[in-house]
Every structure is written in structure tokens, then in C-alpha cells.
């Protein structure tokens, strides 16, 4: 079974976490979604590229989450979430998913 690209995991975490928090009104529940997909992405990066890359890309993921909050005050919630998600997915593809074909399952 092919591995899920980490960009899909980070997108699901950021957009899904925000959607769950907004829909339910339960921010900690949104955080659980964010953390769960972040942990899955970390493990994917660790297996494919090593611990150092996994730590660096996880820092990008967490920074994107943090940046979305002040950015939302300027551009709105959804544009902020979608913007940081797109940037995070691009970094994940460039740095975390690039060796996917060479490393195998």
C-alpha cells in the first residue's frame, strides 16, 4: 500500500483542525486533529528523510499554525488557514515528499 504524501497529512491537519474547532466550538478538539495529523506527518518524514528533517518540517507545521492566528486578523480566518496550509504543503512536497519514489514503503 503506498504511503500517504505528507503534504496531504499537513493539509488535513491544518484545514481539518480549524474546521473541527470552528464547527464544534471546541478548540481543544481541533487541536487534537491538528496534533494527530502532525504526528502522522512527523512519522512519515522521519521514515523517509530522518529525524532532523522531521523536526524541521514539524517546526514549519507548528509555525504555520501559529502564524495563521495573527494573519487571520488581517485577511480573515479561512484565507489565513488556506494560505498557511498551501505554504506548508509546498514545503512538505519540496523537502519531505521528494524522496518518496526512492525510499519505497
Of residues 25, 14, 20, the one with CA closest to residue 62:
14
pLDDT digits (tens, 9 = 90+) for 28-43: 999 999 999 999 999 9
Say if CB 38 and CB 96 are below 8 A apart.
Answer: no
Cell of 82: 488556506
The residue assigned the cell 524541521 is: 56
- pTM, full prediction: 0.88
Q: Are 55 and 24 in contact (CB under 8 A)?
A: no
For the segment 66-95, the average pLDDT, to the nearest whole number, is 96
Q: To which H or E segment does residue 28 belong?
A: helix 27-49
For residue 91, how far is the Cα from the chain centroid? 10
Average pLDDT of the segment spanning 5-18: 97
Mean of the per-residue pLDDT values of the chain: 91
Amino acid at each position: 500500500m503506498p504511503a500517504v504524501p505528507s503534504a496531504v497529512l499537513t493539509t488535513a491537519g491544518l484545514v481539518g483542525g480549524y474546521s473541527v474547532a470552528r464547527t464544534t466550538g471546541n478548540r481543544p478538539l481541533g487541536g487534537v486533529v491538528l496534533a494527530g495529523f502532525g504526528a502522522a506527518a512527523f512519522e512519515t518524514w522521519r521514515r523517509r528523510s530522518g529525524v532532523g528533517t522531521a523536526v524541521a518540517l514539524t517546526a514549519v507545521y507548528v509555525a504555520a499554525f501559529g502564524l495563521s492566528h495573527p494573519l487571520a486578523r488581517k485577511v480573515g480566518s479561512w484565507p489565513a488557514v488556506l494560505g498557511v496550509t498551501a505554504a506548508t504543503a509546498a514545503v512538505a512536497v519540496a523537502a519531505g515528499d521528494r524522496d518518496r519514489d526512492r525510499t519505497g514503503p
